[in-house]
Amino acid sequence: MSADSPLDAKKLGAVDKFLGRVDQRTLFDYFDVDQHATVDEIQNAIKKRRSWAQGQQSNPKYREEAMWVIKNKALVADVLITHRDAYLEHLHAISSAQSLKTLRLFIQGAIADKVLTAASEEAIIEQGLTMDLTIDQIRQTIEALLDEKGARRTRKGLASAPTIALPRDQFSIPDEEEEEASIIPPPPQGVRSFQPGQAEERSPKLVLDGPKKISLRVGNRPVTVSLTVRNAGQGRMTGRIHADRPWVRPEPARLDPARNQQTIRLTVDPHQMSRRRGQCRVTIATRGAGNQSMMIEVQRRSYAMPLLAGGLVLIGLAGFGISRFSTNPSVPDVGRLVINVDPAVGSLFLDDQLQSTQGRLDLDQTEGLKLNEPMNLRIEADGFAVWNQTITVPAGQTVVVRPELELTDEMNLTLQEGWIEGTLDDGVIQSAIQTQQVGFNRCFVDYLNAAPGDVKFIQIRAYVDQIGDVKRIDFGEDNIDSSPLEYCLRRQFRALQLPILNARYDYAVFEHIFRYTVPPPGPEDAP
pLDDT, tens digit, for every residue of 438-495?
A: 889 889 888 888 888 888 899 999 999 877 889 999 999 888 878 889 999 999 999 9
Q: Residue 43 corresponds to which amino acid? A: Q
Q: Say how far apart CA 1 and CA 5 lie, in whole Å.
A: 7
Q: How confident is the model at residue 317 (pLDDT cuts 50, 70, 90)?
A: very low
Q: Tell me, what DSSP letter sits at residue 301?
A: P
Q: Say how far apart CA 459 and CA 475 lie, in whole Å.
A: 6
Q: Say how far apart CA 316 and CA 341 lie, in whole Å.
A: 19
Model pLDDT for residues 214-232, shown as the tens digit of each residue: 878 777 778 888 888 888 8
Across the range 91-106, mean pLDDT stands at 79
Question: What is the reported pTM?
Answer: 0.46
Q: How confident is the model at residue 32 (pLDDT cuts 50, 70, 90)?
A: confident
Across the range 91-120, mean pLDDT stands at 79
Q: Say how far apart CA 366 and CA 450 lie, in whole Å.
A: 46
Model pLDDT for residues 160-181, shown as the tens digit of each residue: 333 333 333 333 333 333 333 3
Q: Say how far apart CA 247 and CA 294 lie, in whole Å.
A: 15
Across the range 414-427, mean pLDDT stands at 87
Q: Tell me, what DSSP letter sits at residue 176?
A: G
pLDDT given for residue 3 in this prediction: 47
The candidate with the shortest Cα–Cα distance to 380, out of 346, 425, 338, 410, is: 346
Is the distance from CB of 447 to CB of 484 less than 8 angstroms? yes
Across the range 64-74, mean pLDDT stands at 89
Q: How confident is the model at residue 6 (pLDDT cuts 50, 70, 90)?
A: low
The 3-state DSSP composition of the chain as helix, strand, coil percent (nearest 5) reads 30, 25, 40
The alpha carbon dihedral of 495, 499, 504, 507 has a sign of negative
Side-chain half-sphere exposure of 456, counting CA atoms within 13 A: 21
pLDDT given for residue 412 in this prediction: 92
Q: Say how far apart CA 2 and CA 221 lie, in whole Å.
A: 48
Q: How confident is the model at residue 202 (pLDDT cuts 50, 70, 90)?
A: low
Model pLDDT for residues 260-278, shown as the tens digit of each residue: 888 888 888 887 777 777 8
The candidate with the shortest Cα–Cα distance to 459, out of 513, 522, 519, 382, is: 513
pLDDT given for residue 458 in this prediction: 92
What number of other Cβ atoms are within 10 A of residue 198's Cβ? 11
pLDDT given for residue 195 in this prediction: 40
pLDDT given for residue 459 in this prediction: 93
Helices assigned H by DSSP within 346-475? 426-435, 437-447
pLDDT given for residue 493 in this prediction: 95
Residues ≥6 apart with Cβ < 8 Å to 70: 50, 53, 54, 57
State yes or no: pLDDT of 147 exceeds 70: yes
Model pLDDT for residues 363-408, shown as the tens digit of each residue: 887 777 889 999 999 998 888 999 999 999 998 888 999 999 999 9
pLDDT given for residue 261 in this prediction: 86
- Residues of the chain with pLDDT > 90, as a percent, come to 14
Q: Say how far apart CA 129 and CA 127 lie, in whole Å.
A: 5
pLDDT given for residue 213 in this prediction: 79
User: Could you give the angle at the alpha carbon of 300 between the alpha carbons of 61 and 399, nearest 5°?
Assistant: 60
The candidate with the shortest Cα–Cα distance to 121, out of 166, 89, 90, is: 166
Residues ≥6 apart with Cβ < 8 Å to 478: 456, 457, 458, 459
The candidate with the shortest Cα–Cα distance to 90, out of 135, 22, 27, is: 27
pLDDT given for residue 161 in this prediction: 34
State yes or no: pLDDT of 125 exceeds 60: yes
Q: How confident is the model at residue 333 (pLDDT cuts 50, 70, 90)?
A: low
Instruction: Classify burial at 276, counting beta carbons within 10 Å of its beta carbon; exposed 0-12, middle 13-18, buried 19 or more.
Output: middle
H or E, element range at 17? helix 9-21
pLDDT given for residue 423 in this prediction: 85
Q: How far is CA 147 from CA 119, 152, 352, in A?
A: 19, 8, 56
Residue bearing the bigger pLDDT, 72 or 136: 72
The candidate with the shortest Cα–Cα distance to 506, out of 414, 432, 395, is: 414
pLDDT given for residue 302 in this prediction: 54
Residues ≥6 apart with Cβ < 8 Å to 131: 99, 102, 103, 293
Q: How confident is the model at residue 511 (pLDDT cuts 50, 70, 90)?
A: very high
Across the range 88-103, mean pLDDT stands at 80
